[in-house]
A and B are shown apart, each in its own frame.
Chain A
Amino acid sequence: MGIDLPLLWALIIGFGVMMYVLMDGFDLGIGILYPFMPDKHHRDVAMNTVAPVWDGNETWLVLGGAGLLAAFPLVYSVVLTALYIPLMLMLLGLIFRGIAFEFRFKARERERHIWDKAFIGGSFTATFFQGVVLGAYISGLPVRDGAYTGGPLDWFAPFPLFTGAALVCAYALLGSTWLIMKTEGALQARMVTLARPLAWALLAAIVTVSLWTPLRDPAIAERWFRFPNLLWFSPVPLLVAASMVALLRALRRGRQVAPFLLTLFLMGLGYAGLAISGWPHILPPDIDLWQAAAPPQSLGFALVGALFIIPVILAYTAFAYYVFRGKVRPGDSGYHG
């Protein structure tokens, strides 16, 4: 039996969560950016750019939850119990975001502002608490005998709150560069001016987390700074620096697509950095992914489905993005106007 099932499952779940962060990231970013585009037509266009894709994007979050329950039930139960309050707030935020998003175009004129506010509040809340969950998770959750032993408000600490704010910046940058790619004219120009400070803010956040985590945890410092690891992992910070330079330059030169792709790449690097720090602990600080794994009968059964079906899902998702490619323009119809 040569297949390392827990490892494969960790990769699949890691992939699913990354897809979620990247894809729902720009959807949520648009909600966060809504206060910076008060013009109703701009708001209509911005919303229309994500309209074709957000529903599928959110499904990756469900896959993350289901995959975790299937492959690492211990992690699922401990993390979801420990982070109960921020997760509930995240889910409520996602409800408001999803529904407000939908109701906005259908509301009577005088009701629309309610759904605008729900959209902004929902996107912001969902993003911030996703960041809090991330920060609390990598800070480590105390576990004894398979049960969480910390308190219900342990997440209310500087580091998780910082990662919450950092994720708001990151999603806003994803949203702004997405809109640069999908729109034109005044809205696009507005996004370019917003993207620049957001990029700096994201860089500051990445640097802060990169310094904060090794300072908090000697094992992480050891992981990164011991020779020869330093050599192996040095491309990560170097690539962050390079893509940051390229992103700022692309913004300056008025490039359409490059800023978004570079932001995706930056987010991927940040994600890889966190994975390197945490490896192989799936329940930091002590429990590794082999200790937390479900029985092989469960892992194997679900793996067959995952390996066959995920490529098909990726294919029709790509097709949907292809169908709805190109710029979204305002005023093509009187309906939203």
Chain B
Amino acid sequence: MAESLALDLARIQFGFTISFHIIFPAITIGLASYLVVLEGLWLYTRRTLYRDLYHFWSKIFAVNFGMGVVSGLVMAYQFGTNWSFFSEFAGGVTGPLLAYEVLTAFFLEAGFLGVMLFGWNRVGPGLHFFSTVVVAVGTLISTFWILASNSWMQTPQGFEIIDGRVVPTDWLAVIFNPSFPYRLAHMSVAAFLATALFVGASAAWHLLRGRDQPAIRTMFSMAMWMMVVVAPVQVLIGDLHGLNTLKHQPAKVAAMEGHWGGETAPGEGLPLLLFGWPDMAAETTHLAVGVPRLGSLILTHSWDGTIPGLKEFPARDRPNATVVFWSFRVMVGLGLLMLLLGALSLLQRWRGRLYRSRGLLRFALAMGPAGLVAILAGWYTTEIGRQPWVVYGLMRTSEAVSPHATGTLALSLGLFVVVYLFVFGAGVAYMLRLVRKGPVNDEGREEGDGGPGHQRHAMRPLSAVRETFDDDGRV
């Protein structure tokens, strides 16, 4: 009992810290690429509007990046502090992948971030643009390695087990494991979508308040184009990712669908459940409301195909379907709302009311956090769906956990909760203050020279933010 409580606390602590952490890098990945686009457009068109937007978003990027750095530092150590037997068992694979992430991404980002944020007047436009591109590429390299590592834990291959630990035998097979390409595409696109929703909501907020300026219109228009083009692409990638999961982790898909087996007669196909309450003890899904055959169509791309039900797996090998069923529906539901937002924006654009339709603007504003919530829901689905394994089929989570006393874990978890809510709460509030302020006309031209003794000489992320807020929150 005490042991399972300690395991639960360790899992909650990891879930809590990584849930906070994933939010910041997701926005970092999206904004870094958005900044590349903005600066590229500025250099190409020489329209000051793009330069203004670049400066506006680079400040928010800087705050967000800083929070990603400190929350990420914790993650690099938690594998050992809380999952020591996992580290010992699989460190031969996950360690080098993490080391490559540090060497090829973290240092690269830290090195060029300074020039990007503070070097506007210190280096030529070409070198500055280069730095922005390098930072954006760095964020994608980072995504590559960490998802290779995570995907290997989902679909391990390219190794042997010798003396009770994993020995890599084929690094290409390790990195390009079966679920990696799908997860990489799904997550990168999710980061872009989440950022576009954040940008779109920021613009909508200003437009709703009557701040109808060309820069804000451009922001809104770009974000809505992302919804039109990228949201459907994400649906396709998600579908492929799901089929890949069905092939390699059928128990996860069964849990996502609340499918126990035996609910329908042969030949009837699988329904797609819209609602239900999977009950792990009773081995059934209560109150199931579904669309007949749609499950078969989506999962097997046929009219009467079926998939293995949860009952086909021993009870000790089943993930918690109650959680996974709902986290999956939250993600998909939000994805559908993104499609709807894109469609509505096309309609209003065609009618010439893109910037004036208050309904659309309110919808876009409400969808601001939707991308991040969908990312969290998606990660809960894939990670809780992997349970009870930490490395799928090889090591159980209960075998991976460090032998800490319950009291020790309760203490550390409590500290993390208090500190994270305080620190990141303040940081998010600060970001929102910046968003509220909006882009400043002609900001790029009045940039002071950087360098020691000047106000913008700093290389650290938040120093790009020049504003000091007085008591009413205005600059």
Please list the residues of chain A having a beta carbon within 8 angstroms of any beta carbon in chain B: 48-49, 51-56, 58-59, 61-63, 65-71, 73-74, 76-81, 84-85, 87-88, 91-92, 94-96, 98-99, 101-103, 105-110, 146-148, 152, 182, 294-295, 297-298, 301-302, 305-306, 309-310, 313, 316-317, 320, 323-329, 332-333, 335-336
Contact = CB atoms under 8 A, between A and B. Distances in A.
Contact of B92 (A66, A294, A335): A294
B93 A298 contact: yes
B313 interface: no
29 contacts: A49-B452, A55-B460, A56-B110, A59-B107, A62-B73, A63-B102, A63-B107, A65-B77, A65-B80, A70-B99, A74-B88, A76-B84, A80-B81, A91-B74, A92-B416, A94-B70, A95-B71, A107-B468, A109-B468, A294-B91, A297-B92, A297-B168, A298-B95, A302-B95, A305-B103, A306-B99, A313-B103, A316-B107, A328-B453
A125 to B, nearest CB: 11
Nearest to A80: B80
Contacts of A56: 107, 110-111, 459
Interface string B410-453: 01100110010001001100100000000000000000100111
Interface string B142-179: 00000000000000000000100101110100000000
B309 interface: no
B458 A70 contact: no
B103 A63 contact: yes
B84 to A, nearest CB: 4
B412 A301 contact: no
Question: Among B80, B85, B122, which residue has the most Cβ atoms of chain A within 10 A?
Answer: B80
Contacts of B335: none
B170 to A, nearest CB: 9
Interface stretch (B212-220, B236-244, B315-323, B399-407): B399-407
Contacts of A316: 107, 111-112
A137 to B, nearest CB: 13
B175 to A, nearest CB: 10
A99 B412 contact: no
Contacts of B110: 55-56, 59
A58 B168 contact: no
Nearest to B413: A88
Contact of B408 (A147, A152, A309, A320): A152
B219 to A, nearest CB: 23
A303 B458 CA distance: 33
Contacts of B107: 56, 59, 63, 309, 313, 316-317
A172 B403 CA distance: 36
A288 B238 CA distance: 47
Contact of A48 (B95, B99, B162, B458): B458
B77 A298 contact: no
B76 A95 contact: no
A53 B466 CA distance: 18
B235 interface: no
A334 to B, nearest CB: 8
Nearest to A13: B99
A133 to B, nearest CB: 11
B104 interface: yes
Interface range, B side: 35 or more
B454 A77 contact: no
B26 to A, nearest CB: 19
Contacts of A95: 70-71, 73-74, 419, 423
B238 to A, nearest CB: 31
Going nearest first, the 8 A-B pairs with the smallest beta carbon separation are: A73-B91, A80-B80, A70-B95, A51-B458, A77-B84, A102-B462, A69-B95, A52-B459
A52 B113 CA distance: 10
A101 B94 CA distance: 32
Nearest to B463: A51
A73 B201 CA distance: 45
Tell me what chain B mostly uses at the interface: helix, strand, loop, or mixed: helix
Given A84-B408, A295-B167, A77 B455 contact: no
Nearest to A295: B167
Given A298-B92, A335-B455, 9 more contacts: A62-B76, A65-B80, A66-B76, A69-B94, A70-B98, A77-B80, A92-B415, A298-B95, A302-B99
B114 A81 contact: no
B103 A335 contact: no
A260 to B, nearest CB: 16
Nearest to B67: A99
A51 B460 contact: yes
A103 B462 contact: yes
Contacts of A106: 430, 462, 465, 467-469
Contacts of A302: 95-96, 99-100
B84 A81 contact: yes
B106 A99 contact: no
Question: Among A85, A105, A323, which residue has the most Cβ atoms of chain B within 10 A?
Answer: A323
Question: Among B72, B94, B103, which residue has the most Cβ atoms of chain A within 10 A?
Answer: B103
A301 B73 contact: no
Contacts of A107: 468-469
B92 A55 contact: no
Nearest to B101: A66
B452 A326 contact: yes
A310 B463 contact: no
B66 interface: yes
A253 to B, nearest CB: 24
B14 to A, nearest CB: 13
B120 to A, nearest CB: 14
A294 B412 CA distance: 29
A182 B453 CA distance: 11
Contacts of B77: 65, 80, 87, 91
B73 to A, nearest CB: 6
A99 B427 contact: yes
A88 B70 CA distance: 13
Nearest to B158: A297
A103 B187 CA distance: 30
Interface in B50-83: 63, 66-67, 69-74, 76-77, 79-81
Nearest to B111: A316
B87 interface: yes
Contacts of A69: 79-80, 87, 91, 94-95, 98-99
B457 interface: yes
Nearest to A321: B459
Contacts of B67: 99
Nearest to B405: A152
Contacts of B167: 295, 297-298
